[in-house]
A and B are shown apart, each in its own frame.
Chain A
């Protein structure tokens, strides 16, 4: 399978806490992207980190990339109930093809 792996598969936290999700991939990538998906809806692009970058920030999001370990992490700080969703990583390879991880279902309890 070309699918990446994400852990945890499910994460439940309280509002205000930080949420960390991890992603591993199998092939060389040009960049790694994180997406959010609310139940039954389309994907929302959150952040992109290039293969030559190690860390990137965007608002309450912090992404790291370790190409030697073929892994990435997404940290959401000061979580809110509205952050409840599924989060997917996706590695981009040649031809702009995206290979998605299995996803983490995040639940933020108010």
Chain B
């Protein structure tokens, strides 16, 4: 299957700082990328959907000014957690989807564990 990478895999930051997480599709063009959040021992919750070159669509209850998403190219989407607080500590997972053929399904990245002190 296709490969999606995330960077960094793990980040620890102080409360009040901003953290950027990158999601890259390595061998296909991702017209749509999705960002999920997963708290310990819980399921994945969709945060937002981003299409290349357009604004992200956020799920109900997700603050768009706090979780900034930029999908500037067909292989890269970034999620910036602004003014992070301890309650933002979580496992953030992205997925990427192409526009047809073998890449029509979602391929998931390995996740980024964010710890806010």
Contacts and interface: CB of A to CB of B under 8 A. Distances in A.
Given A100-B43, A101-B43, A95 B49 contact: yes
A42 B111 contact: yes
Interface string B12-32: 000000000000000000001
A43 B91 contact: no
Contacts of B91: 40
18 contacts: A33-B105, A35-B108, A40-B111, A41-B110, A42-B6, A42-B93, A42-B109, A42-B110, A43-B108, A45-B1, A45-B105, A45-B107, A48-B105, A96-B32, A96-B34, A96-B97, A96-B106, A98-B106
B117 interface: no
Given A45-B1, A48-B105, A95-B49, A3 B43 contact: yes
B72 interface: no
A99 interface: yes
A103 B109 CA distance: 19
B11 interface: no
Contact of B111 (A3, A41, A95, A98): A41
A34 interface: no
B43 A102 contact: yes
Interface of B: 1, 6, 32, 34, 42-46, 49, 91, 93, 95, 97, 105-111, 113
Nearest to A43: B108
List of 8 A-B pairs having minimum Cβ-Cβ separation, nearest first: A42-B110, A43-B108, A100-B43, A100-B44, A42-B108, A42-B111, A102-B43, A103-B43
